Chains A and B, each alone.
Chain A
Amino acid sequence: MSYYFVVVSPTDTPMFEYTFGTSKAGGSGQAHFRNGESSRYMNQFIIHAAIDVAEEVQWLSPNMWLKVIDHYAPTNSHISCFMTGTNVRFMLLHQPGGPPAAAGSRTSTLSSSSIAQNPLSPQTDEAIRQFMTEVYEVWVKTMMNPFYKIGDEIKSPAFRARVAAAGRKWL
């Protein structure tokens, strides 16, 4: 599984982005998107399109965790969204599949409900929710910085390290 995580401000500017791969089941933590080099801008594009869906869904449920809200079939990408109280959105694009060479040998050992294989299983949903909740805590701490204003880019390497740790832990 490969992930692209981005924090979007209420005015739709990206505040933080982070690309990573799964660390579970022997994953290296590196992202391997099936659309290769073009994923760098395609992922941004897909997420930007999913913001429209997030704005529709946000008034239907008071929960912060909005689950998988969008799907981009050509690259088999799923987009999950977590909405904070101040309408800052944590968007996570997840794309199943490991590194091409190793994928075949590993498929047989993994059950169909594991995080790496099935992006819509309850286990995946739960893992991403845990990841989001952990990022939310770190993000609230960022907000408590008196010099930080909502909409500013989050530059703190400590924040990045925390997000990376949460990604390794849950995804």
Chain B
Amino acid sequence: MAVPPSFSTAMYSSPSYSHDSRPSSSSTPSFAGAGLRLPSNRKTIYDRNLNRSRNAELSRASFAFLFMEMVTYAQKKIKSVSDFEKKLNEQGYPLGMKLLDLLLYRASPAGSSSSSSTPAARPLRILPLLTLINNKLYPLLFSRPADSLEQDTSDPSKYMIIDNTPLTNTYISIPKEMSQLSVAAFIAGIIEGLCDGAGFQCKVSAHNQGTDVWPNRTVFLVAFDEQVMERERELDRQGIK
């Protein structure tokens, strides 16, 4: 467990080596033993900034192409449409889990680059969590907030996030025999991952509810587990926001 004293200095002062040579020389003792291979510019992910630069957006074409491949991949060895949606959901889930902390990190005041600033608050209640999805997650992924956020009138544990033009559905055509399928299950997976990560166990599913104006209109149904609702009531009683 002990770290050699030369550890951090060796990391940045070691002479650069081309990517095909082994770091076996005595000048790079720490990382040769640790088995870490640095890229040729010697920058690890730890040297990069977590804040997004203004113009660092992915082109729509490359997303469409990549997502098409993901859908094709998920289509292999599936038995039913719900199987298909489950696979897409699982592809989005880890993404949502990781995005939660990135969002909280970026939401902290003063650009959060200095270590003196306080990180943002964790969502404790359902409403701040859904607001985070609506106002932070959506702009990060799609450069706009979601179109609407509603609560089910009959069941208080169900919420609906409505997207009139989901990016995932824009370039994917659904064959007739799979008309029930919504590839926005991928986005549902991202939302589910984020909620689960924050400690709000839930099931999120995507449903096509096209209208004349918005043929791709998709409703994400967020159904929180009973234990989450129980905690919600308890926190409400204690007056914690």
Spell out A's residues near B (CB within 8 Å).
Answer: 10, 17-19, 29, 58-60, 62-65, 83-87, 130, 133-134, 136-145, 149-150, 156-162, 164-165
Contact = CB atoms under 8 A, between A and B. Distances in A.
Contacts of B101: 84-86, 139-140, 143
Given A64-B122, A86-B101, A144-B102, A137 B50 contact: yes
A77 B162 CA distance: 50
A136 B36 contact: no
B46 A83 contact: no
Interface in B182-208: 197-199
A60 B124 CA distance: 8
Nearest to B48: A141
Contacts of B120: 64
Given A86-B197, A140-B101, A164-B3, 9 more contacts: A65-B118, A133-B115, A139-B101, A141-B48, A144-B45, A150-B197, A158-B46, A160-B3, A165-B8
Interface stretch (B63-71, B92-100, B148-156, B209-217): B92-100
B121 interface: yes
Nearest to B33: A157
A18 to B, nearest CB: 7
Contacts of B140: none
A134 B115 CA distance: 6
A64 B115 contact: no
A157 B100 CA distance: 25
Contact of B122 (A85, A140, A145): A85
B217 to A, nearest CB: 30
Nearest to A160: B3
A137 B1 contact: no
A143 B198 CA distance: 15
25 contacts: A19-B2, A59-B235, A60-B240, A62-B121, A62-B124, A63-B122, A65-B119, A84-B101, A85-B198, A87-B199, A134-B115, A137-B105, A140-B102, A141-B50, A142-B45, A143-B98, A143-B101, A143-B102, A149-B94, A157-B31, A160-B3, A160-B7, A161-B8, A162-B46, A164-B3
Given A62-B123, A159-B46, A144 B115 contact: no
Nearest to A156: B36
Contact of A87 (B115, B117, B128, B197): B197
A134 B128 CA distance: 25
B3 A85 contact: no
